[in-house]
Amino acid sequence: MKKNESENKPTNNDKARTVSQDSKKQQLDPYRQEKEGHYMTTDQGLRINHTDDSLKAGSRGPTIMEDFHFREKMTHFDHENIPERVVHARGSGAHGYFQAYDDSMKKYTKAKFLTDPNTKTPVFVRFSTVVGSRGSADTVRDVRGFATKFYTEEGNYDLVGNNMPVFFIQDANKFADLVHSIKPDPDNEMPQASAAHDTFWDFASLMPEINHMIMWVLSDRALPRSFRMMDGFGVHTFRFINEEGKARFVKFHWRSTLGAHSLVWDEAQKLAGKDPDWLRRDLWEAIDSGNYPEFELSVQIVEEEDEFKFDFDLLDATKIIPEELVPRKPIGKMVLNRNPDNFFAETEQVAFHPGNLVPGIDVTNDPLLQGRLFSYLDTQINRFSSANFAEVPINRPLAPVHNNQEAGFMRQTINKGKANYWPNSIGGGCPMMAPENQGAFVHYMEKVEGHKIRARSQSFNDHYSQATLFWNSMTEVEQKHIVEAAHFELGKVESKEIRQRMVGHFSKIDMNFAKMVAAGVGVEVHENFDQESTGHYEDNEASKQMKNGKSVKESPAVSMERNKIETVKSRKVAILVENGFDYNELMQVKQALTDAGAMVKIISKLHGMKKASNGEMVETDKSHVTTGSIMYDAVYIPDGKESIHTLMREGDALHFINEAFKHHKTIATSGHGIELLQKTSIGGYVYAEPTSRDVKEHKGVVTAGNDADADEFAEKFIAAIKKHRHWNREEKMMVPA
Ligand code: HDE
């Protein structure tokens, strides 16, 4: 019987479209499978009694075609791989939720998940490196991806951002060139996961629009200490639309509640060998131990009428809106509290797309974003060989899905009825069109007109001011790291001409910066370097209006050092012991550290039980064979004559301390431990008398006399760890580690 439209009104739709923190977990539950207590079967459910041998004609004879178990097992294995992502191949995922602080964003957006403080919207986040392949090291110098899928009651919203607020290029048509240049060379596939080779810097030196991003990539932002300790940015300018249909421009920011912290380059390189999974492991272990990463979402909002009031174009993804011009408004918090059950099913198969929008959030004409709107769907077809990837459990929205896209490889849903087209009458006109007040997405009706032209707006033509702004905003130590990074990156470039050209660009950013880089890469700085922009720029109304736009010369908000959050929460502390350590001191300091939220590991030459001077036994967590100073944020060596004297004869222990010192980490010891420090390169940092009540801290080296108060010692130690790094150690150059 033909139904009329009103009979099909989605009366229970509101219920179906309500989500809670656990909704995604519940949706995934039926797909999860325990192996425990079950017989092994074929894919057809047939129980197997023997899987070690194939079916043969005689135990020494050939394998028989009939062996359906072998064929199925081998075929499945042969087809286990899907193409890795062409960029962002290596990533780590986590589940969690997002919750708005209040409903204050209602004024700006009708996106319910951003305005309803009573809903915890489930999320899945994938952090990634960009350049390396799926098996590459985590700690390479690179941008980090920070992609979030919000399973909202209005459908999936994806905020596919990075840990840097700008991008290399302005137009999507340059993306393939950029990625080709930064990926390994096409002839020999070297180097892996690194920009430090001629092709990338050749491209960079010929593309002035890259300069601002180059400054970010050379900065410590490219070496995050942890995925949990980095910020995220939506990069593009998006649009917020409120209930009245009024639009405003918006930039999205994530801020880690632990602050943004970085590794140092030497440490990052060594970690790539000792623990290539460093960032992945850190995220996994933190969530596993209940140290849930938290990120605050904030927005910068610009009224439409202010579009041309800045000296840069809001549509240009190589520019930030300095927070000093438009402050960030915090709007909610994301908590990551669950590790995935299966890497492939969740982290590998999750498919993001900046075009996954919900009512209240829309895109702008940023030409980079416009290109992304095409690329992300296209790339999923390459990965999944099917348009049905949205049916994979991790990608399924919580909002019900009804449409006529019913076929294709690996279709899961069994759609009923004859009418798989629209309009239809035999299906009662269903699935029907939703009115706007029932949650339908309506594209923002921006008026657009123009000539068909392959060109860029003149308003995109300033490639140096914000690179200079970034340089000006850095502290001295951050500037020093940028110069050192340039020495490494350009130092790997064989072509002198390319190095010369890059230093030319740097001279337009800051002459002093260019001179410091030039001094390390064997080229001269020439005054008056000039290079024609590569783009074709068209003068227009926007560029005319922007001429006297607002700008700043410095933006302290972009400096990590100036915005440091001082906490020891989830920081890793190594305790070096051998037989004969001071048990009471160790226990007291260890307790104080764990009370403050730090994670503590006991390390000695060999794994096993260690005997304290009072006869108590303590089990070590790691040996020098399986760990290194680079895996900790701080080092503590408890007193105990015998233990200390053994450590003084251990090269690994001395190296551990020296290296931690070189990497600007906090080091603490007491009593006889002072003798040990004097045997390392940092004797000059010992300020406490060995036999005294002294507790002294000098540039992150905390020393205490044998009679000192252990609480005071722990307190000073913790205060020093909170600083993250002690940059002001001149003697680090003398450390041979
Ligand atoms: Fe991506 N990017 N991108 N990108 N991107 C991909 O999509 C692309 C850009 C970002 O964890 C790919 O599913 C183009 C900016 C992240 O799964 C691909 C352009 C930003 C991830 C793609 C950009 C990003 C990707 C590869 C310029 C920050 C990982 C696999 C026009 C705002 C998502 C995939 C994950 C992944 C294309 C530029 C962030 C090929 C064409 C700018 C975090 O579609």
Query: How far is the C-alpha of 80 from the C-alpha of 82, rounded, in Å?
Result: 7
* CATH 2.40.180.10 assigned to 91-395: yes
Q: What's the pLDDT at 36?
A: 95
What are the boundaries of each domain within the chain? 42-80, 91-395, 493-534, 566-734
Tell whether the model's pLDDT for residue 3 goes beyond 90: no
The predicted-structure confidence for 70-100, as pLDDT tens digits, reads as follows 999 999 999 999 999 999 999 999 999 999 9
How sure is the predictor about 528, in pLDDT bands with cuts at 50, 70 and 90? confident
The mean pLDDT of 204-227, rounded to a whole number, is: 98
Q: Which of 10-19, 206-215, 691-700 has the lowest mean pLDDT?
A: 10-19
The predicted-structure confidence for 368-383, as pLDDT tens digits, reads as follows 999 999 999 999 999 9
The mean pLDDT of 391-400, rounded to a whole number, is: 98
Q: What's the pLDDT at 8?
A: 44
The predicted-structure confidence for 533-550, as pLDDT tens digits, reads as follows 777 899 998 899 988 899
162 is catalytic: yes
Query: How far is the C-alpha of 220 from the C-alpha of 594, rounded, in Å?
Result: 28
Q: For ligand 1, pick from 233, 376, 378, 381 the residue to mutate: most ligand atoms within 8 Å of CB.
A: 376
Q: What's the pLDDT at 2?
A: 41
* Pair of tokens at residue 737: 């580690």
CATH of domain 566-734: 3.40.50.880
The interface predicted TM-score (ipTM) is 0.99
Which residues make beta-bridge pairs with 278? none
Q: What's the pLDDT at 258?
A: 97
Given 69, 156, 162, 211, which residue is catalytic? 162
Average pLDDT, the chain: 95
Pocket lining: 343 vs ligand 1, CB cutoff 6 Å: no
Query: How far is the C-alpha of 347 from the C-alpha of 339, rounded, in Å?
Result: 10
Tell whether the model's pLDDT for residue 362 goes beyond 70: yes
The predicted-structure confidence for 235-260, as pLDDT tens digits, reads as follows 999 999 999 999 999 999 999 999 99
Tell whether the model's pLDDT for residue 56 goes beyond 60: yes
* Strand runs labelled E in 319-475: 329-338, 361-362, 456-457
Query: How far is the C-alpha of 132 from the C-alpha of 183, rounded, in Å?
Result: 8
Residue 456 Cα to ligand 1 midpoint, Å, equals 22
Pocket lining: 88 vs ligand 1, CB cutoff 6 Å: yes
Ligand 1: nearest atom to the Cα of 235: 32
* Strand runs labelled E in 395-497: 456-457
The predicted-structure confidence for 542-593, as pLDDT tens digits, reads as follows 899 988 899 999 999 999 999 999 999 999 999 999 999 999 999 999 999 9
706 is catalytic: no
Half-sphere exposure of 547 (CA within 13 A, CB side): 5
pTM over 0.90: yes
Contacts of residue 134, Cβ cutoff 8 Å, sequence gap at least 6: 84, 85, 89, 90
How sure is the predictor about 6, in pLDDT bands with cuts at 50, 70 and 90? very low
